[in-house]
Amino acid sequence: MQRVIEFTTDTFGAEKIESALRAAFDVLAEECPDGVRLAYWKVQGTSRFVALIDLDDERNNPLLSLDATAALPKVIRSHVESGYPMPQPVELIGSYGFAL
């Protein structure tokens, strides 16, 4: 199931989160876990982030077995005033040119 995660932080938090995301994606590129698709965007000129996560098996999330990706929720939680945002299920209506 695809889920969207959205949150806003301050400038300091955005830097910390961006650094943690880069580390996580480096590990993902190295480890290549099966059954997971993950993308994060930062809205240009802001401290707002949007993510799309798609897991084949939500009960056995491979992101939790890698230190850098398992740390992401903690880093985000510590820099978002309302805590870690609840991932929201989304339904794709249509797309063009994306491999979604």
- The count of C-alpha atoms lying within 13 angstroms of the C-alpha of 64, restricted to the half-sphere facing its C-beta, is 6
- What is the DSSP secondary structure assignment for residue 20, as one 8-state letter? H
CA distance 62 to 73: 14
- pLDDT tens digits, one per residue of 24-72: 999 999 999 999 999 999 999 999 999 999 999 989 999 999 999 999 9
- In the chain, what are the domains? 2-89 (3.30.70.100)
Predicted local confidence at residue 43, as pLDDT: 98
Band the pLDDT of 99: cuts 50, 70, 90.
confident
Starting at the earlier edge strand, list the strands of the sheet with 88-89: 36-42, 48-55, 2-8, 88-89
Where on the phi/psi map is residue 98: left (φ > 0), alpha (ψ -120 to 50), or beta?
beta
Q: Give the pTM.
A: 0.90
Band the pLDDT of 82: cuts 50, 70, 90.
very high
